[in-house]
Chain A
Amino acid sequence: MISLQLHTINPNSSSLKTSSFPISTSSHYFNSKSLKPHFKSTPYNTSTIVSVLQWNRKPQLAGETPRVVVITSGKGGVGKTTTTANVGLSLARLGFSVVAIDADVGLRNLDLLLGLENRVNYTAVEVLNGDCRLDQALVRDKRWSNFELLCISKPRSKLPLGFGGKALIWLVDALKSRQEGSPDFIIIDCPAGIDAGFITAITPANEAVLVTTPDITSLRDADRVTGLLECDGIKDIKMIVNRVRTDLIRGEDMMSVLDVQEMLGLALLGVIPEDSEVIRSTNRGYPLVLNKPPTLAGLAFEQAAWRLVEQDSMKAVMIEEEPKKRGFFSFFGG
Chain B
Amino acid sequence: MARDIPGIAAPARTDLPVLKPFRPGSFAPDSMAWSRWLAGLPPWTPLALLAVAFAWPTVAVAQTDMSAGEAWGILVRWIPFIVGSGFVFTVLISILSMLIGTLLGAMLGLAQISKNGLVRRFAWSVTQLFRNSPWLVILYIVLLALPFEVVIFGAVLAIPDWVKAVFGLSLPIMANISEIVRGAVQSVPTAQWEASESLAFSRRQTLWQIILPQCFKRMIPPWMNWYAILTMATPLCSLLGVEETITLTRQALEAENNRPALLVPFYGFALILFFAYCYPIARWTISLERKFAVKL
Q: Do these two chains interact?
A: no
Chain B positions near chain A (C-beta within 8 angstroms): none
A residues neighboring B (CB under 8 Å): none
